[in-house]
């Protein structure tokens, strides 16, 4: 694994990948990468790199991503020819040899100050999965009523089907996972789209991996690429599929193909 840190001093440190799954983000990609790199340089004591996981962008995102990777040794660009945030994270995480892999949304809706508490929860807190949550008393959230209702309705649905789930927010785009949990859980995930996050968390609970909820400051992005109706349908079917799978012991692959091609990150 290449050196990811802009800071060269120090002894043995963790290796951390921060994945940015993107689709048609030519306007925001460079600025977000630079802001993230500046934060990590100032606050992350470990070796790190930023991985741009471009899932089939059709605008100038590939040119911007390759340019950023050529300019900065701690930024890597990875191109996929099929869409899907889950697909992008699956490929990037399984190709990585970092001690901890993480991801965040390219719009940086979640304040970066919560990143190191999330990493520390895995490094020192004895957990394998750490997630940003917007449903903690300490969290600060600014978003519209429609998305608030949908988010709370979805977590209620999860608690109904999986009453002992330990996570409080499935879809906040701000998560970190230990290497051992990635190896064990990610190959089991069927979703290659937005339900990826929820499936990861349900599987983590099911297999006994400890999850830590980290409060965040979060501001809604009005230019979000999320298609609400389609995403709600995908999530509802995903929760139903997983519940039926656990009840029957049979995997239902109707909506989520098993195989993807894993490529190394250049």
Cα 25 to its chain centre, rounded Å, is: 17
Note the pLDDT of residue 197: 97
Query: 141 lies in a domain?
Result: yes
Residues 5-22: what's their mean pLDDT? 75
Query: 260 lies in a domain?
Result: no
Kindly tell me if the per-residue pLDDT of 9 is higher than 90: no
Looking at the chain, the whole-number percentage of residues with pLDDT higher than 90 is 78
Question: How sure is the predictor about 102, in pLDDT bands with cuts at 50, 70 and 90?
Answer: very high
Query: 81 lies in a domain?
Result: yes
Query: 121 lies in a domain?
Result: yes
> How many domains, in total, are found in the chain?
1
Residues 92-118: what's their mean pLDDT? 97
Q: Which of 83, 101, 116 is nearest to 234 (CA)?
A: 83
Note the pLDDT of residue 143: 85
Q: Which of 124, 121, 123 is nearest to 166 (CA)?
A: 121
Residues 201-228: what's their mean pLDDT? 87
Round to whole Å and give the CA distance between 19 and 103.
4
Kindly tell me if the per-residue pLDDT of 7 is higher than 50: no
pTM to 2 decimal places: 0.89
Note the pLDDT of residue 261: 42
Q: Which of 193, 12, 216, 8 is nearest to 89 (CA)?
A: 193
Round to whole Å and give the CA distance between 78 and 263.
9
Kindly tell me if the per-residue pLDDT of 178 is higher than 60: yes
Contact (Cβ atoms closer than 8 angstroms) between residue 53 and residue 78 = yes
Query: 229 lies in a domain?
Result: yes
Kindly tell me if the per-residue pLDDT of 85 is higher than 60: yes
CATH number at residue 68: 3.90.550.10
Note the pLDDT of residue 226: 59
Query: 162 lies in a domain?
Result: yes
Query: 4 lies in a domain?
Result: no
Cα 234 to its chain centre, rounded Å, is: 17
Residues in the chain: 266
Provide the residue range defining the domain that includes 108: 15-248
Q: Report the interhelical angle of 61-71 vs 29-43 (nearest 10°).
A: 30
Residues 29-35: what's their mean pLDDT? 98
């Amino acid at each position: 694994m290449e050196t990811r840190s802009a800071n060269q001093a120090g002894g043995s440190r963790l290796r951390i990948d921060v994945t940015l799954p993107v689709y048609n983000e030519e306007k925001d990609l460079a600025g977000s990468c630079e802001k993230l790199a500046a934060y990590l340089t100032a606050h992350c004591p470990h070796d790190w790199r930023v991985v741009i996981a471009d899932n089939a962008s059709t605008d100038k995102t590939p040119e911007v991503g390759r340019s950023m990777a050529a300019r900065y040794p701690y930024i890597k660009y990875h191109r996929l020819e099929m869409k899907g945030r889950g697909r992008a994270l699956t490929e990037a995480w399984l190709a990585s040899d970092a001690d901890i892999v993480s991801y965040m949304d390219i719009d940086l809706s979640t304040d970066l100050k919560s990143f190191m508490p999330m990493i520390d929860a895995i490094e020192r807190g004895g957990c394998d999965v750490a997630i940003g949550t917007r449903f903690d008393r300490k969290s600060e959230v600014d978003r519209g009523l429609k998305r608030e209702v949908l988010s709370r309705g979805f977590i209620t649905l999860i608690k109904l089907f999986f009453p002992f789930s330990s996570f409080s927010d499935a879809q906040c785009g701000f998560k970190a996972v230990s290497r051992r949990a990635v190896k064990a859980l990610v190959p089991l995930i069927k979703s290659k789209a937005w339900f990826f996050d929820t499936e990861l968390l349900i599987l983590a609970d099911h297999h006994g991996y400890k999850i830590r909820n980290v409060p965040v400051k979060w501001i809604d992005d009005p230019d979000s690429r999320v298609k609400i109706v389609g995403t709600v349908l995908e999530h509802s079917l995903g929760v139903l599929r997983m519940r039926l799978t656990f009840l029957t012991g049979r995997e239902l692959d109707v909506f989520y193909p098993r195989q993807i091609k894993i490529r190394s990150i250049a």
